[in-house]
């Protein structure tokens, strides 16, 4: 370890070669910006798809169907599902999306019955503007997620059209879950008829709450068995598993980006190593002078490693803060098949970036530090 009294010396060394240090900071900042962005995306995927023991929601979808338009389940299934043991509540939902494809700007309408919405969804939302009474009263009213409203520049009182459906913005709400932030909630019967295609009495899916999370799979199997021989057989899965399956393309892309994240870390290692090597080469004589003055080889080595640490931490702080700030402000989400996978920036990712950069900074400085420590004083003076 290095005693704090040497920190000013390290900082002076960094400051002496301002151009080199700035270029190294900037390079590390860019690499850690990408790394943090990838981490935020992966965190979003994990949050949306990883089941935990408290999950109590099942999604009942039409079997062998992918796009919300293709999943057409009779609303009459609701009564049968309610009677299955273990089911606490059933909410029929109709989903209409502007496009089934994956992109950043998809509009998703979710039609739910008024009562079910007020009971099951509204408690989890914070109304930012407008009123729920207004939403209840008007047939064509929509309650927009905050992210969707900002992206489309919409406010209460506006009318907007997407996917061939025109709605009135009755309110804007905020939810901690990305699924709700990126959608417009409308009345089920309105959406069934606005969507056309003889959708009366037809829904896209049922969200089912179970009484006991431990019985999630059992209830799912019971629901599928109930409708196995029906006109529209179902496929029921826990909500997170449903998201993972439906958003498989997005999950795959984000998984692939893990390699990009690793590449960024390697780039950081190369940048710091390059900077340290150049710095050590410039200061061979200076190190010899320090050794003459009584600085031991291992202390010089620690000074060099410390320099690498400062460069890496400085760049990582800048890059990671920028990335997480941008992700938080932009509230990006990849939408596919009516689902949203939000990019999820967290403080822990900032800490992760610092730790990773710090370790890499130390690692990058080890080889040149070891070399510098082992050089003989005379050899150093002769080398210049």
Partner 1 sequence: MKLLPFDYAVRNLGRSPMRLAASVAGSALVVGLVLAAGGFVRGMEKSLTVQGGHDNVIILGAGSEESIERSQISGGVATLVTGAVPGIRSRLGVPYVSPEVHMAAVLKPDRDSTAEWTAVLRGVTPTAFLVHPQVRIIEGRPPTPGQYEMMVGRLAAVRLGAAADQLALGRTLWFDNRAWTITGRFEAPNTVMDAEIWTPLNDLQIATKRDTTVSCVIVTLDDADVGDVAAFCAQRLDLELAAIGEAEYYASLLRFYRPVRAMVWVTAVLIAVGGLFGGLNTMYAAFAARVRELGALQTLGFSRLSIVISFLQESLLATACGGLLAATLALLLLDGLAVRISMGAFALTLDDAVLTMGLAAGAGLAVVGVLPPLYRCLRLPIVEALRTA
- Residue 159 phi/psi, 5-degree rounding, is -115, 135
At closest approach, how far in Å is the CB of 133 from partner 1?
A: 29
Q: 125 CB contacts (<8 Å, ≥6 apart)?
A: 143, 173, 174, 175, 180
Cα separation, 369 vs 16, whole angstroms: 19
Stretch 311-350: interaction string toward partner 1, x if CB under 8 A:
-------------------------x--------------
> Given candidates 9, 100, 359, 363, which one binds partner 1 under the rule CB under 8 A?
100
Stretch of 108-116, 124-132, 276-284, 370-378 contacting partner 1, by CB under 8 A: 276-284
With contacts defined by CB under 8 A, name the span among 63-71, 85-93, 218-226, 372-380 that binds partner 1. Answer: 63-71
Q: List the one residue out of 232, 276, 268 whose CA is nearest residue 32.
A: 268
Part of the chain binding partner 1 (CB under 8 A), chosen from 8-16, 48-56, 204-212, 246-254: 246-254
From residue 103 to residue 122, the character string flagging contacts with partner 1 as x (rule: CB under 8 A) and all else as - is: xxx-----------------
197 to 226: interface string for partner 1, x by CB under 8 A? x-----------------------------
Determine if 91 is a binding residue for partner 1 (CB under 8 A). Answer: no
Q: Is 51 an interacting residue with respect to partner 1 (CB under 8 A)?
A: no
The encoded tokens of residue 147 equal 């992210």
Q: Does 19 bind partner 1 (CB under 8 A)?
A: yes
**Token digits for 382?**
């002769």
Q: What angle do CA 167, 173, 178 make, to 5 degrees?
A: 100
Which of residues 48, 58, 143, 165 is near partner 1 by CB under 8 A?
165
Please tell me what DSSP assigns to residue 100.
S
Q: Considering the complex, what minimum distance in angstroms separates the CB of residue 201 from partner 1?
A: 14
Handedness of CA 106, 107, 111, 116 (dihedral sign): positive
- The residues near 3 (Cβ < 8 Å, ≥ 6 apart) are none
Report the nearest approach of partner 1 to the CB of residue 281 (Å): 8
Q: What is the DSSP letter of 291?
A: H
The four Cα atoms 351, 356, 361, 365 give a dihedral, to 10 degrees, of 140
Number of residues forming the site for partner 1 (CB under 8 A) = 53
| Min separation Cβ 137 and partner 1, Å | 25
Q: Which residues partner with 90 through β-bridges?
A: 208
Asked if 23 touches partner 1 (CB under 8 A), the answer is yes
Residues 353 and 316 sit within 8 Å (Cβ to Cβ): yes
Closest approach of partner 1 to the CB of residue 51, in Å? 17
CA 268 to chain centre: 23
Among 211, 281, 292, 371, binds partner 1 (CB under 8 A): 281
* Contact residue for partner 1 among 118, 233, 284, 367 (CB under 8 A): 233
**Looking at the DSSP assignment, which residues form a beta bridge with residue 62?**
234
From 167, 201, 159, select the one nearest 184 (Cα to Cα): 167
Token pair belonging to 332: 């990006």
Binding footprint of partner 1 on the chain (CB under 8 A): 19-20, 23-24, 26-27, 30-31, 33-34, 63-67, 69-70, 96-105, 163-165, 196-197, 231-233, 245, 248-250, 252, 260, 263-264, 267, 270-271, 274-275, 278, 281-282, 336, 384
């Amino acid at each position: 370890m290095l005693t704090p009294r040497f920190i000013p010396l390290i900082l002076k060394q960094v400051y002496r070669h301002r151009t080199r240090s700035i270029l190294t900071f900037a390079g590390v900042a860019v690499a850690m910006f990408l790394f943090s962005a990838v981490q935020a995306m992966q965190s979003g995927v994990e949050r949306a798809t990883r089941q935990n023991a408290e999950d109590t929601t099942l999604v009942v979808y039409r079997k062998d169907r992918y796009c919300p338009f293709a999943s057409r389940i009779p609303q009459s299934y609701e009564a049968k599902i309610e009677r299955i043991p273990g089911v606490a509540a059933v909410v029929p939902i109709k989903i209409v999306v502007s496009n089934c494809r994956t992109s950043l700007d998809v509009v998703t309408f979710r039609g739910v019955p008024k009562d079910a919405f007020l009971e099951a969804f509204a408690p989890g939302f914070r109304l930012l503007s407008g009123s729920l009474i207004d939403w209840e009263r008007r047939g064509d009213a929509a309650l927009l997620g905050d992210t969707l409203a900002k992206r489309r520049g919409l406010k209460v009182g506006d009318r907007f059209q997407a996917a061939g459906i025109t709605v009135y913005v009755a309110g804007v709400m905020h939810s901690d879950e990305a699924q709700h932030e990126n959608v417009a909630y409308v009345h089920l019967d309105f959406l069934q008829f606005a969507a056309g295609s003889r959708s009366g009495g037809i829904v896209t899916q049922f969200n089912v709450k179970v009484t006991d999370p431990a019985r999630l799979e059992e209830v799912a199997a019971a629901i599928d068995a109930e409708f196995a021989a029906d006109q529209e057989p179902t496929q029921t899965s826990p909500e997170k598993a449903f998201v993972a399956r439906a958003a498989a393309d997005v999950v795959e892309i984000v998984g692939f980006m893990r390699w990009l994240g690793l590449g960024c870390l390697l780039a950081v290692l190369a940048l710091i190593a390059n900077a340290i090597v150049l710095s050590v080469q410039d200061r061979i004589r200076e190190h010899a002078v320090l050794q003459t003055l009584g600085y031991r080889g291992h202390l010089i080595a620690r000074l060099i490693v410390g320099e690498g640490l400062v460069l890496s931490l400085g760049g990582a702080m800048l890059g990671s803060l920028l990335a997480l700030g941008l992700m938080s402000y932009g509230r990006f989400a990849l939408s596919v098949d009516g689902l949203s996978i939000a990019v999820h920036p967290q403080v822990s990712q900032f800490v992760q970036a610092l730790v990773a950069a710090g370790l890499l900074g130390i690692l990058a400085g080890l080889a040149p530090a070891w070399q510098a420590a082992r050089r003989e004083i005379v050899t150093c003076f002769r080398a210049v």
